[in-house]
Amino acid sequence: MRFLVSAIIACLPAFVTPDVFNPDPSIFPDWSKTEALTPEHVIQTKQLGTFSLSPDKKRIVFQQYQYNMTDNKSGTEFKLLDLSSYSQGPTTLIPYKYDQSDSSPTWYDNETVLFTSVRGSPANNLFSVSARDGVIKQVSNFTNGISGIVYSSQAKRIAFVAMVYQNLGLEESAKLAAELSEKPSSGVVYDKLPVRSWDIWVTKQRAQLFTVPIDTVNETLVFTGSPVNVVAKYTGEWGLEPDYYTFSPDGSSILFSAKIEGREEAWQTEAGIFIAPVDGSSAPVRLNSNFKGAASSPNYSPDGKSVVWLQMATPGYESDQNQVILYDIATQKQTRLLSDLETSPSYAGFSSSGKSLYLIIPTQKDNPIFVFDLATQTLSRRVADGAIADLVEVSDDELIISHSTVQHPSNLFKVSTKGNISKTQITFENDNLLKGLWMSPAETFWFTGALNEKVQAFVLYPFGFDKSKKYPISLIIHGGPQSSFYDQWSVNWNLNSFANQGYIVLLINFHGGDAYGQKFTDSITHNWGTYPYEDLMTGLDYFLENAKYADGNNVAALGASYGGYMANWINGQTDRFKALVCHDGVFSTVSVSYSTDYFSSLDHDLGIAYIESQRNMLEKFNPERYVSNWKTPTLVVQGEYDYRVPVTEGISTFAALQRRGIDSKLLYFPDENHMVLKPANYLFWTGEMFNWIGKYTNVTTWEYKNE
Ligand SMILES: *[C@@H]1O[C@H](CO)[C@@H](O)[C@H](O)[C@H]1NC(C)=O
Ligand SMILES: *[C@@H]1O[C@H](CO)[C@@H](O)[C@H](O)[C@H]1NC(C)=O
Ligand SMILES: *[C@@H]1O[C@H](CO)[C@@H](O)[C@H](O)[C@H]1NC(C)=O
Ligand SMILES: *[C@@H]1O[C@H](CO)[C@@H](O)[C@H](O)[C@H]1NC(C)=O
Ligand SMILES: *[C@@H]1O[C@H](CO)[C@@H](O)[C@H](O)[C@H]1NC(C)=O
Ligand SMILES: *[C@@H]1O[C@H](CO)[C@@H](O)[C@H](O)[C@H]1NC(C)=O
Ligand SMILES: *[C@@H]1O[C@H](CO)[C@@H](O)[C@H](O)[C@H]1NC(C)=O
C-alpha cells in the first residue's frame, strides 16, 4: 500500500480548481465598500500563542499577544473558552495589559492554570491563576529564569528548562553568571565551535531539563522538593539540550529529544531520543544510537509501552526525510511505519485510545493534519486547506487545532478525526479588527519547471482587481531553501499586505520545497542556482503568458535568507526585474560557509570550502562571482544580530551595488536578528520595502510615519 499525496487528495470532497488565469468574479467584493489591509492591521492583530485543554476536557485556555500602534505598547492576555458554549465567546482569565508577558498556560487541575512570567520576580518564574476567580499566585522565585513548563498529574511534577553551568544548579549558575559579568575584562575565550547560535554568543551555560515535585499544601500550590537536573548523569559529552519533552503516562519517566554535543556539534545534526527517570536518579538511556541523523517529536503511547518519534537517517542533513519510528520499550525493537510515505512529517503523536497516530505533513500548498490508523495502516487527511500549528485531542472523535490561511490569522477550530473533513471555527479574536478588509485567497496553478517536472505556484490577486487592467507583480521567494510557501498567515512577509498594495503576489514552490516528496526536496542539493532559478523564471513566464491581467514590465522580486541569496543570484543572471529586495541574503557562499552559525546546511547542499573537490560547488553558485553583471536596483535589509547570515553579507551586497553605481539602499537594524521582530521595526521595514518596489513599478504605496 502506498501513501501517495494523490491518494490522499482523492479522499477530499470533490471541488473545482479555480482558474487563476480567469478568476471567478464572485471571489471579489464590491470594491467601493471594501478597505485595503495595511501593515498597521497586520501588526495589530491578536497573535494566538499556546492553548491547553483542561483535564475534564471542558475548557480551553489560550494565550494571545497584541501590539498597539497608537501607544507603541504590547502585552498579553489569557482567555477561557467553554467548549459546550463556544458560540458565546471566551471569557477573560487574565486581562490584557501593556508590558505584561505571561506565557505557556498549562492546566494543573480542573480549576487552576500554571504559567510562566516575570511579574516583578527576579526572572521568569512559575505562577498559577485560578479559573474560578482569576486570583494569581507566585509559585517559584528563582533568580535563574525557567521556560517550557510541562505538568504531569501522575508524576506530580513539572518539567522545565533553565540555563546552567556544568555541575551547577539553578541558583548557583545565576550567581556565577552575575560574578562573571562583574569581572574587569569582558573577554571570552572559546576552544571549540559553536561560538554563536541564532542571535546569541554561546556561553558555558547550557539549557538543561529539570523536574520539580509540586503539590497543594494547605490550599497553596508549592514545590515540595528541589529541582533535579534529569540530564546531569548523562555519560556522553556534557551539555545535552532537550528541546522536546513529555512525561510517561505513569509519571515515572520523561522522554526527550536532544542534539548530541561534542567536537563536531556545530556542523553535525545527530540527535538522541532519551528516556530518563523523573527524579534524575539514573542517566538518560538513548533509544536511537543506531542513527546519526536528526530526530524529533518523541511521544509515548497512552499505555506507556511504546514510543513514536521522527528520525532522519542521513548524518549532517537537516532536511532529510523524517521516518516515523515506533519503538517497543520492552523489546527495544524499532519498526518504521508509513515507509511508503513520500513526504516528511513534522509531528507525530498518539491518540489517547492508542489506536492511531496524529501526523502533521506538508502537502502541496497546505500543512494539514492526518490520522494514521495503526490497525488498518491507512492515512486520512483531516483538514482540507491551510496550515495547522498545534493540536489537542478532546475525544476519540474530535481535535482542536490552531489553523490559519493567507486570509486569516490563527484561530482555534474543531475538526473530526473521522468522516466529515469540514472544520468548525470556535475563536474569532480578530474579526473586529479585520472586518470589511480585502483578503485575497491563495489560488494555485501548476507548470512544467526544471527537470520537466510539475511545479506548483500560488497567486494572490491585487486589491481593486479588474480583469481588464494590468497589475504589477511581487515575486516573493521563500527561504530554507528546503521549505515551501503554505496557505498560511504570517506577520512578517504578510502576503495579503502586498496584494492590498495593488500587487499580484506570485509565489513559486521551486525544486527543493518540502511539500512535494523527498525526491523534490533533495533535488536542490548541489543545485542552489540551477533548478530553483529555472523554476522561478519558467513559472513567471508561464504566468505572464496566461494571465492577461499581469504587467510583465513591472515585476519586482523579493526574498529573505535563501530568498535573499536568490535575489543576489538573480541580479547576476538577468535584468528582467524592475527592482530587488535582498533581506539577510547570502552574498558570498564561500565567506558565509565560515561565518554562519549553521554549517550543516551549506556543507550538505554545496560542500566544504577548504576541501578542494567540494569548493567548486560553492564557487559555482556564488552570487559574488557575478557582481560584474549586476544592474538591478536593490534594497538590502540586514539585522546586526543575524548570526545565520551575518551582517557582513548585507554590507558586502550593498558595497557591490554602490561601487557599481546601481541604485540601492541598505536598511540596517542594529537590534534585529535573521527576522524583523520588533513591531515598530516591522512597520518601518515594510514601509521601506513597499516604497522601494513602488518606486520602480509605478505604485503609490502605504507609508510609515516613523515618529
Ligand atoms: C490602541 O489603544 C488606543 C487607546 O490608547 C485605542 O483607542 C485603540 O483602539 C487601540 N488599538 C487596538 C488595535 O486595539
Ligand atoms: C516603541 O517601543 C519600543 C519598545 O518598547 C521602544 O524601544 C521605542 O523607543 C518606542 N518608540 C517610540 C517612538 O516611543
Ligand atoms: C477533573 O475533572 C474530571 C471530570 O470531572 C475528573 O475525573 C478529574 O479527576 C478532575 N481532575 C483533577 C486533577 O481534579
Ligand atoms: C524573591 O526573591 C527576591 C530576591 O531574589 C526577594 O527580594 C523577593 O522578596 C522574593 N519574593 C518572594 C515572593 O519570595
Ligand atoms: C498547614 O496549616 C496548619 C494550620 O495552619 C499548620 O499547622 C500546618 O503546619 C500547615 N502545614 C504545612 C505543611 O505548612
Ligand atoms: C460536514 O459537517 C458540516 C458542519 O458540521 C456540515 O455543514 C456538512 O453538511 C457536513 N457534510 C457532510 C457531507 O456530512
Ligand atoms: C504610472 O501609473 C499611473 C497611474 O497610476 C499612470 O497614469 C502612468 O501612466 C504610469 N506610468 C508609467 C510609466 O507606467
Nearest ligand, CA 384: 6
Q: Note the pLDDT tens digit of each residue in 434-475.
A: 999 999 999 999 999 999 999 999 999 999 999 999 999 999
With a 6 A CB cut-off, is 219 part of the ligand 5 pocket?
no
pLDDT mean over 618-630: 98
Residue nearest to atom 7 of ligand 5 (CA): 218
Report which of 544, 403, 569 is spatially closest to residue 481, judged by C-alpha positions: 569
Q: Note the pLDDT tens digit of each residue in 328-369.
A: 999 999 999 999 999 999 999 999 999 999 999 999 999 999
Q: Note the pLDDT tens digit of each residue in 581-622.
A: 999 999 999 999 999 999 999 999 999 999 999 999 999 999
Residue nearest to atom 9 of ligand 4 (CA): 121
With a 6 A CB cut-off, is 420 part of the ligand 6 pocket?
yes
User: Does the pLDDT of residue 246 top 60, yes or no?
Assistant: yes
In whole angstroms, how far apart are CA 575 and each of 450, 631, 688?
A: 21, 6, 22
Atom number, ligand 4, closest to the C-alpha of residue 141: 1
Convert 333-368 to b/e letters by CB count within 10 Å (16 or more is b).
Answer: ebeebbeebbbbbebbbbbeebbbbbbbbbbbbbbb
Do 142-179+189-337 and 444-697 show the same overall fold? no
Atom number, ligand 5, closest to the C-alpha of residue 217: 13
Atom number, ligand 4, closest to the C-alpha of residue 138: 13
If one counts every other C-beta atom within 10 angstroms of the C-beta of residue 688, the result is 18
Residue nearest to atom 6 of ligand 3 (CA): 56
Atom number, ligand 1, closest to the C-alpha of residue 70: 1
CA distance 466 to 25: 9
Nearest ligand, CA 139: 4
Domain edges within the chain:
1-34+352-432, 46-140, 142-179+189-337, 444-697
DSSP per position, 46-107: -EEEEEEE-TTSSEEEEEEEEEETTTTEEEEEEEEEEGGGGGG--EEEEEEEET---EEEEE
With a 6 A CB cut-off, is 222 part of the ligand 5 pocket?
no
Residue nearest to atom 7 of ligand 1 (CA): 70
CA 412 to ligand 6 center in whole angstroms: 18
> 70: Cβ–Cβ under 8 A, 6 or more apart, which residues?
none
Q: Are 701 and 510 in contact (CB under 8 A)?
A: no
- SS3 for 557-573 is EEEECHHHHHHHHHHHH
Domain 444-697: give its CATH superfamily: Alpha/Beta hydrolase fold, catalytic domain (3.40.50.1820)
**2.40.350, 2.60.40, 3.40.50, 2.40.128: CATH of 142-179+189-337:** 2.40.128
Tell me the percentage of the chain whose pLDDT exceeds 70: 98
Residue with cell 557582481: 627
Q: Note the pLDDT tens digit of each residue in 125-149.
A: 999 999 999 999 999 999 999 999 9
CA 96 to ligand 2 center in whole angstroms: 19
Which residues are bridge partners to 64 per DSSP?
Answer: 48, 77
CA 45 to ligand 1 center in whole angstroms: 12
With a 6 A CB cut-off, is 218 part of the ligand 5 pocket?
yes
Nearest ligand, CA 470: 7
Atom number, ligand 4, closest to the C-alpha of residue 143: 5
**From 139, 141, 146, 170, mutation site for ligand 4 pocket: most ligand atoms within 8 A of C-beta:** 141
